Amino acid sequence: MNATPRVLAVLDDLLASAASGGRGALWHLAEQGRDLDANVVRLPPLAGVGEHQEDVLDVLLVVLAGGGTLRTGGGTLRTGSDTLDLAPTTVTWLPRTSRRALEAGPDGLTYLTVHRRRPGLTIKPAVRAPATAYEGGEAPCMLDLVCPECGRLSADRNPRFCSACGEPYPG
């Protein structure tokens, strides 16, 4: 059986129909049987995603609208520093194990991320293992840890309120 390509979204239409003050994921790839994950994310003006490290996946980040800054955890970008100005059409590779943080500029920042799909979460039997034992698998997407109000990434794995602005997390 051959799979049939199809249009999933038209980015100009998606961006035009999104609420101007909207934030977070505007769209995500949800097709069954896929090997990729993709998200269109909007950060409002001057909001950010705190410094974090993705240990398992390479991520491709494509700026669609607005602008901002990508900061690395001390690594040097092609500019010779640890920051890179982001503008529409900028395509950036974020290799696994790299530390990075994003900050939107005065017009906000809307970007597309694409990476290999993470396997679904599974329930495992409760077995006590040494704290240093590797349990395997990959971490879930971190979008649920991004504050819906200010865009900061929570260090808490199950946040109830944002430590930066106090906004409650959904769910």
CATH of the domain at 67: 2.60.120.10
Q: What is the pLDDT of residue 138?
A: 45
Is residue 55 domain-resident?
yes
Q: What is the pLDDT of residue 80?
A: 64
| Contact call for residues 109 and 86 (beta carbons, < 8 A) | yes
What token pair was written down for 109? 């920042």
Is residue 85 domain-resident?
yes
Domain extent for 102: 18-119
What CA–CA distances, in Å, run from 76 to 48, 72, 88, 98, 142? 20, 7, 21, 11, 24
Going residue by residue through the chain, which has 171 residues, state the pLDDT in tens, using 9 for 90 and above.
677 888 988 988 888 887 666 778 888 888 887 888 999 999 999 998 888 888 888 999 999 999 999 988 766 566 667 788 999 999 999 998 888 899 999 999 999 999 988 765 555 555 555 555 544 444 456 777 777 776 777 777 777 776 666 677 776
**3-state SS assignment for residue 39:** strand
Q: What is the pLDDT of residue 137?
A: 46
Give the number of domains in the chain.
1
Residue type, 75: G
Is residue 98 domain-resident?
yes
Is residue 39 domain-resident?
yes
Looking from the CA of 23 toward its CB, the CA atoms found within 13 Å total 20
Q: What is the pLDDT of residue 170?
A: 72
Distance, CA of 39 to CA of 115 (rounded, Å): 9
pTM beyond 0.75: no
State the sign of the Cα–Cα–Cα–Cα dihedral 143, 147, 148, 151: negative
Is residue 62 domain-resident?
yes
Is residue 164 domain-resident?
no
Distance, CA of 60 to CA of 49 (rounded, Å): 16
Is residue 138 domain-resident?
no
Is residue 86 domain-resident?
yes
Q: Is 160 exposed, middle or buried (0-12, 13-18, 19+ CB in 10 A)?
A: exposed
Q: What is the pLDDT of residue 67?
A: 94
